[in-house]
Structure 1
Amino acid sequence: MAGGSTGASDRAGGGFVLKPWELHGEGREFEKLGGELTKAVAALERDLAALGTPWGTDAPGSGFAAVYGPAHGELVGGLRGLAGQVGKVGTGLHTMAERTTDTDTSAAGGFGAAVEGGTGVGPGPSAVSAVYSTTGATPGAAPAVPTDMSV
């Protein structure tokens, strides 16, 4: 999310900033959008059901019904699934924010320092932004630690 609403990118250094409070805000927005989409899908289903079967039972109407029935089910099912996934993005952003805060708090405690403006215990509004490097990093791999710390 470099350069996005979660903070500025440090393009020269290859890092980015995560602000947990902004991740929570974006999470709430995705949850809200998922809820609105769920309501819109329900309204669409009601409106289509209210139409009944106006195409009739003659040859053209039967042909239309044969195509419309499965397509209608797939469309509504896909829209329901999409609404659920949009809401899950919000949940994921909340989880990311909480884990970022927990990691920062734990790291600060490991160095014997309190989190800026707070006690260094638990997530909360006093948490600082996390800065992560993206240069030369392999996901899941431990970074190389120099043995000569005078560098």
Structure 2
Amino acid sequence: MAGGSTGASGRATGEFVLKPWELHGEGREFERIGGELAKAVTALEQGLAALGAPWGADQPGSGFAAAYGPARGELVGGLRELAGQVTDVGTGLHTMAARTADTDTSAAKGFGATAVPTVSSGSSATPGAAPVVPKDMSV
């Protein structure tokens, strides 16, 4: 998904390409971002807790506390939920990659295809043979 490199649509040919190894890479990126967001939410929560209740116990301070307390809880809870959802997108991309690879491999086997032999320079692969779908080629 970064730069649109995972899916390519050929409008003229109606072709759509998913590369499982790129989906895995993007999945790891979403998981990383979700983890970073979760850490930032924890730091925010700790920072807010360290402030205590500086608004005081008088009437204006009590009014502020009555509005601030629930809003603070909703904000932190919403951000924590968002971090989990971003991480879940990564998990979903891994699932999509695995299912895409499994489907491609099953389809190739259904047509009686076998793995393409390693191609040395100057030679060509066996005509009609489907390539083995890599599970993950990212670094």
Question: Is contact 1:33-1:87 (8 Å) kept?
Answer: yes
- Residue identity over aligned pairs, in percent, reads 75
CA distance 1:116–1:26, change in 2 (3 Å): farther
**Aligned partner of 1:124: which letter?**
K
CA distance 1:115–1:57, change in 2 (3 Å): farther
Structure 2 CA distance, aligned partners of 1:113 and 1:105? 9
Per the TM alignment, residue 60 of structure 1 is displaced from its structure 2 partner at its CA by: 1.0
Per the TM alignment, residue 121 of structure 1 is displaced from its structure 2 partner at its CA by: 7.4
Per the TM alignment, residue 12 of structure 1 is displaced from its structure 2 partner at its CA by: 2.0
Quote the residue 1:81 is aligned against.
81
CA distance 1:17–1:122, change in 2 (3 Å): closer
**Aligned partner of 2:71: which letter?**
A
Question: Is contact 2:24-2:93 (8 Å) kept?
Answer: yes
TM-score, reference length from structure 2: 0.81
Quote the residue 1:135 is aligned against.
none
Quote the residue 1:108 is aligned against.
108
Structure 2 CA distance, aligned partners of 1:12 and 1:96? 26
Structure 1 stretches of at least 4 aligned residues deviating more than 6 Å after TM superposition = 118-122
Question: Is contact 2:20-2:134 (8 Å) kept?
Answer: no
CA distance 1:115–1:6, change in 2 (3 Å): farther
Secondary structure of the structure 2 residue equivalent to 1:29: helix
Structure 1 spans left out of the alignment, 5+ residues:
127-151
Structure 2 CA distance, aligned partners of 1:17 and 1:29? 20
Per the TM alignment, residue 117 of structure 1 is displaced from its structure 2 partner at its CA by: 5.8
Secondary structure of the structure 1 residue equivalent to 2:17: strand
CA distance 1:68–1:117, change in 2 (3 Å): farther
Quote the residue 2:127 is aligned against.
none
> What is the RMSD computed on CA atoms of the aligned residues?
2.3
Question: Is contact 2:21-2:136 (8 Å) kept?
Answer: yes
Per the TM alignment, residue 116 of structure 1 is displaced from its structure 2 partner at its CA by: 4.4
**Aligned partner of 1:84: which letter?**
G
Structure 1 CA distance, aligned partners of 2:117 and 2:35? 35
Secondary structure of the structure 2 residue equivalent to 1:9: strand
